[in-house]
Amino acid sequence: MPETRGVIYQAFGPTAVKCCGASIASLRQHSPNLDILVVSDRSMHRYGVETIPWPPEIKVWRTRALMRRGFMSGVTKPKLYGLSPFDRTLYLDADTTILADVMSGFAFLDDADMAIWPHRHSIPWYVRPRPGANPYMATGFRKEIEHTIKELGAAADLYWNAGVIFWRKSPATKGLFDLWGKEWRRFKSWNEQMALRRAAHQVPELRVVHLGPEWNNKKRESGTIIWHVYGTGRVDR
């Protein structure tokens, strides 16, 4: 039987739900035959997609928001592997807009377990002195960054953006997602991507393909396949 392919989102809170609805509409315009699921704390049926309800006993919101971000993506994203029923999954953040057919992206998994975009900045970049640097980097988040740099060594030069991920079902991928959750719980920061890199470092058998910037682009420009506004919460994209 051919492998199943589908898209999974997560959408928690009214702003994320609206963003997700807009992203789904753009996805259907360019890739109309893909199955879509949304993990959410509320129904997404009005957008014509199946909702995977989030267990209310598993808390995903901070009591006090960190850097104005109250949602703990480090709780939810590591669980998406087990929630996706597809052999090959494309995960999309709710604040993405699809500008072209994404079907070709699943071919990255012919010889890999995961495909993801390497961020233009390395992990050490986030603690280097520079004008306009966020002061939070010098407090709680800096501790996690420094631990990550120490553990990864030279591998800390590679940082991933977890807003767009292709993955396939495999023991290596399952191991990655299981470790991702454990690594996030060490620091419980707003940034789940540091934990993802530490987890991947512990799964040397994981085969990773790096996506080009057209698959996760902050700018809407020629050649962009997935436009990602990186957590700005914009609905009117």
CA–CA distance from 142 to each of 113, 180, 193 (Å)?
30, 19, 14
Dist CA 18 CA 36 (whole Å): 16
96 touches 164 (CB < 8 A): yes
Q: Please name each of the domains of the chain with its CATH number.
A: 5-120+160-228 (3.90.550.10)
What is the pTM assigned to this prediction?
Answer: 0.92
pLDDT tens per residue, range 62-99: 865 444 558 999 999 999 999 999 999 999 999 999 99
pLDDT tens per residue, range 34-72: 999 999 999 999 999 999 999 999 999 986 544 455 899
DSSP secondary structure of 83-152? H---SEEEEE-TTEEE-S--GGGGGGGGS-SEEEEEPSS-SGGGGS--TT--GGGGTHHHHHHHHHHHHH
